[in-house]
Structure 1
Amino acid sequence: MAALDEARAHLAKAREFLEAAELTNDLSLFNAAASNAVTSGINSKDAICLATIGQTRKSDNHVEAVAELRGAGAPGRDSSATLSRLLRLKSKSQYQAAPVSAADASKSIDWATRLLATAESVTPS
Structure 2
Amino acid sequence: MFNYGPLAVVALLGAAGASSALASDTPTTDTAETEATRQIDLEVAEKIFRKSCRACHGNKAQGAASYPSLSDKDPAYITERLERYRAGEKIGPNSILMIQHAKKLSDDDIASLSVYVTTAFE
What is the TM-score normalised by the length of structure 2? 0.31
More helix by share: 1
The structure with higher relative contact order (CA 8 Å, sep 6+) is: 1
